Amino acid sequence: MSKVVVIGAGNVGATASQYIVDRQLADVVLIDIVEGLPQGKALDLLQAGSPSNHDCSIIGTNNYVDTKDADIVVMTAGIARKPGMSRDDLLKTNANIVQSSIKEAHKYSPNAIFVVVTNPLDVMTQLVLKTTKLPSQRVIGMAGVLDSARFETFIAMELKVSVKDVRAMVLGGHGDLMVPVTSLASVAGIPLLNLIDKDTLTKLIKRTQDGGAEIVSLLKTGSAFYAPGASVAFMVEALLRDQNRLMAASVCPNGEYGLKDLYIGLPCILGANGVKKIVELELADNEMADLKKSATAIKETVNKMNELLVAV
C-alpha cells in the first residue's frame, strides 16, 4: 500500500489522516514535535479501523526516520489563526516551522510529492519548493479545493439544491484576494448567473473570501479542520490513484495566465507524479484583473518572507 506522511497532529492533520484511511488510500505516518500527541491520535484512529471497515496501518511518531520512503508528504504543521489575526500574521512563525520540518521530511523521502496546507498557503508552498528544490509539479498547495468547496456550499445553501449538482472554482491566493470564478460556475449544467441575482452573488463571494475567518470567529479557539482535512484527502486520492482530476490548487505557472515564478491557485490536472497540466480558462476581464491583483499580493508576501528567513 502507498505511504502518506502527515506532518502535524493537530486537528487538520488528524482529520486528513482519518479521511485518508477511511477511503483506504494509504498507510499513514502522523508526525509531530509534541511527544505522545501523534502516538495517541494514531492509536485512536487505528482502533477505529474495525467499525470504519479499514485496515490501513497508522503510526504516530516524533522521529522523521519513521517517515522514510513516503509517496506523499502532507504539511499541516503550524500555528492556527486566532480571531483578528490575518493569514499574513502567521508568516514568520510558520515559515520557520515549514522550513525545518520539510528539510527533515525531504531527507527521508526525496521522491515524495509534497502537499502543503500550512498558512499563508501560497507562500508556504513556494517555501517548500525552495527548500526541497524539487520540480514544481511535485510541490502543490491545498487551497483551491477547500475554497471551491466553500463557494459551492454557499451556492447550494442559497439555491436550496444539492451541493452535488454545484460546480464552481475559486482561483488566486488563499486569502482575502481569492477569486471565485462566477462566469464559469454552474448548477447541473445551468450557468449560475442565470439562477442568482447580482447582489446575492456578491454576498456569496464575500462569504467565500471570509470562509475561514467566519469559522475562526465562531470557534474562538481554533480554525477549520473538517473541510480542510477532506480537501487534503481529495487531492491525495487524485495523486495516488492517477485520477487526472481537474481542480483548483496552488501551483507554479510557467507563463499560463501571464504568470510565472510564484505559487497561486489555478485550475490544474492532478495525477501520478503531481501536476500534469495547468489548464487555461477564458476568464471574465474582472476575474483576470483580480487574479493579477492576487498574484501581486502573493509576491509581496514572498519578498517579506525572504527578508525574515535565512537563506535555504
Which positions are annotated as active-site residues?
174
Query: In this structure, what C-alpha cell is assigned to residue 181?
Result: 470564478
- In angstroms, the CA 58 to CA 244 distance is 27
Close Cβ partners of 88 (under 8 Å, ≥ 6 residues apart): 120, 175, 301, 304
**Is 75 in contact with 7 (CB distance < 8 Å)?**
yes
Q: Which residue has the cell 447582489?
A: 199
Phi, psi angle pair for 190, to nearest 5°:
-90, 125
Please work out, in degrees rounded to the nearest 5, the angle formed at the alpha carbon of residue 246 by the alpha carbons of 168 and 141. Answer: 90
- In angstroms, the CA 291 to CA 295 distance is 6
Question: The sheet that has 58-61: what strands, in order across it?
Answer: 58-61, 27-31, 3-7, 72-75, 113-116, 139-141, 245-251, 264-271, 274-278
Question: Which residue type occupies 132?
Answer: T
Close Cβ partners of 6 (under 8 Å, ≥ 6 residues apart): 13, 16, 17, 20, 28, 29, 30, 31, 74, 76
